[in-house]
Amino acid sequence: MNPEAFKRLATAVIENEAAAVLALRDRIDGDFANACRTMLDCKGRVVVLGVGKSGHIGSKIAATLASTGTPAFFVHPAEASHGDLGMITEHDVVLTLSNSGETDEISRILPILKRLGNPMIALTGNPGSTLAQHADVHLDVSVAEEACPLGLAPTSSTTAALVMGDALAVALLETRGFTREDFARSHPGGRLGRRLLLHIRDVMHSGADIPSVGPDTPVAEAIVEMTRKRLGMTVIVDDAGQALGIFTDGDLRRTLDQGHTPQSTRISEVMTRGGKSIGPGALAAEAVQLMQEHRIQALLVLDDEGRLAGVLNFQDLLAAGVV
């Protein structure tokens, strides 16, 4: 096969699945609202069931719900028949996926779930199926055809179910008032969590680690301070602890290029007055944005009274995994 044939087949799959997703838009109706309300009213957790490809999709939906403020977990229906039903309590809502709505493993435990009295939401491609008829809320995720040319492999149908699950999760997220900080608390181990949870005070240099000199200090002595603290900069502060400016490696190069003598030039004559600053309570991710926006490598950290509380450079953010 030539490259154009591969492109043609791939394009057909994408167009097929895109059409299946767009068809869901007209099914966001009262049943969808009832499904959201049922999960919001849940006193326990959302238990997601599915077999085969629907099981894989169900597992992802459960993970998405759990990470966006709706406690959820996945149970395989076959394992449920051999003891895992004990994981489901009377306070839980059951979210079941089956394209046919007639999956044997689910049909086998359906009477037990009904007897327990768990509210049940079903995502199927067959509104007339056994599962759809016995569910308290049914969401139609049927597709006109699978993207598989044989019409056999679950492709568009699994995409439609996944998108409907995402729609539920995001609708619940918004309704609960779930925040970026809430999201970060459930993702503390990754870069995303570090970006959302790490504050400036967690990574800044403070106290004796701050390179600082007075305004009358000769540039030569400021260089010694910069070298000793190894941050590529020094802050110029007055007697009251107020930051007057900043002197960086770049300022040093400009100072030498302009012919200033380091031994006789006062730092206040060549420093960058003011300097960009940030508060210790800001997120480290905000510092990244500020540095990138202004193309700088260091920030002053000032408290509410404008006093110097610390300093931060880009390498600190790299080391913290925020960048």
CA distances from 222 to 264, 266, 296 (A): 12, 9, 20
CATH architecture of 3-178: 3-Layer(aba) Sandwich (3.40)
User: What is the model's pLDDT at position 183?
Assistant: 67
pLDDT tens across 256-271, in order? 999 998 999 999 999 9
15 CB-contact burial (10 Å; exposed 0-12 / middle 13-18 / buried 19+) = exposed
User: What is the model's pLDDT at position 178?
Assistant: 78
Measured between alpha carbons, how far is 286 from 187 in angstroms, rounded to an integer? 19
Of the chain, the percentage scoring pLDDT greater than 90 comes to 54
CATH hierarchy code of domain 200-319: 3.10.580.10
CA atoms within 13 A on the CB side of 243: 28
Find the range with the poorest average confidence among 6-20, 33-47, 182-196, 307-321. Answer: 182-196
Find the range with the poorest average confidence among 92-101, 162-171, 184-193. Answer: 184-193
**Mean pLDDT, range 216-231, rounded to an integer:** 91
Measured between alpha carbons, how far is 97 from 12 in angstroms, rounded to an integer? 26
User: What is the model's pLDDT at position 129?
Assistant: 96
User: What is the model's pLDDT at position 286?
Assistant: 85
Using 50, 70 and 90 to split pLDDT, how confident is the model at 148? confident
Do 59 and 49 meet the contact criterion of CB atoms below 8 Å apart?
no
pLDDT at 320 over 90: no
Measured between alpha carbons, how far is 81 from 285 in angstroms, rounded to an integer? 47
Measured between alpha carbons, how far is 159 from 23 in angstroms, rounded to an integer? 12
When mean pLDDT is compared over 92-101, 213-222, 244-253, the highest value belongs to: 92-101
Which residue did the predictor score with more confidence, 166 or 295?
A: 166
User: What is the model's pLDDT at position 190?
Assistant: 56
Task: Indicate the average pLDDT of the chain.
Answer: 89
Tokens of 79: 């394992």
pLDDT at 164 over 70: yes
Q: What is the pTM of this model?
A: 0.66
Find the range with the poorest average confidence among 76-80, 142-146, 196-200. Answer: 196-200
Query: Which part of the chain has CATH 3.10.580.10?
Result: 200-319
Query: Which part of the chain has CATH 3.40.50.10490?
Result: 3-178
CA dihedral angle for residue 129, residue 130, residue 134, residue 140, rounded to 10 degrees: -20
**Mean pLDDT, range 32-43, rounded to an integer:** 96
CA atoms within 13 A on the CB side of 177: 0
CA dihedral angle for residue 235, residue 241, residue 244, residue 246, rounded to 10 degrees: 10
User: What is the model's pLDDT at position 152?
Assistant: 78
pLDDT at 187 over 70: no
pLDDT at 54 over 60: yes
pLDDT at 176 over 80: yes
pLDDT tens across 232-248, in order? 889 998 888 788 889 98
